[in-house]
Amino acid sequence: EIVLTQSPGTLSLSPGDRATLSCRTSQSVSSTYLAWYQQKPGQAPRLLIYGVSSRATGIPDRFSGSGSGTDFTLTISRLEPEDFAVYYCQQYVSSRWTFGQGTKVEIK
């Protein structure tokens, strides 16, 4: 099973700041098979990024994904008030999909 480790656990930032979230995988993951999701309290997750760097429909361009091999990054260029949430990475290359444990982006 591929283990995904996200860091940091919590990111305390202010609106307008840049957020950089990390996701490391225990085995190399093809660039096609890594996604990022956003989840707000009481809501279902929302797909932000798939295939490492492709934005899902309707996702603003302040969200970007990058990385390769075992190191992947989600960047939010300028935080808007609605971006404070928990973010999860997920791999779907093996038949045993896994999520990272999440990074909470909170208001400083």
Query: Which residues are CB-neighbours of 55 under 8 A, at least 6 positions away?
Result: 48, 49, 61, 63, 64, 65
Instruction: Give yes or no for residue 26 binding other proteins (CB under 8 A).
Output: no
- Of 14 and 95, which CB lies nearer to other proteins in the complex structure? 95
User: What tokens were used for 48?
Assistant: 């932000």
Task: Compute the least distance from the CB of residue 14 to other proteins, in Å.
Answer: 25
Instruction: Give yes or no for residue 51 binding other proteins (CB under 8 A).
Output: yes
Instruction: Give yes or no for residue 25 binding other proteins (CB under 8 A).
Output: no
Instruction: Give yes or no for residue 32 binding other proteins (CB under 8 A).
Output: yes
DSSP per position, 2-69: --EEEE-SEEEE-TT--EEEEEEESS---GGGEEEEEE-TTS--EEEEETTTEEPTT--TTEEEEEET
Stretch that binds other proteins, among 18-26, 45-53, 60-68, 77-85 (CB under 8 A): 45-53
Instruction: Give yes or no for residue 47 binding other proteins (CB under 8 A).
Output: yes
User: What tokens were used for 20?
Assistant: 């950089």
Interface contacts to other proteins, rule CB under 8 A: 1, 32-33, 35, 37, 39, 44-47, 50-51, 56-57, 86, 88, 90, 92-93, 95-102
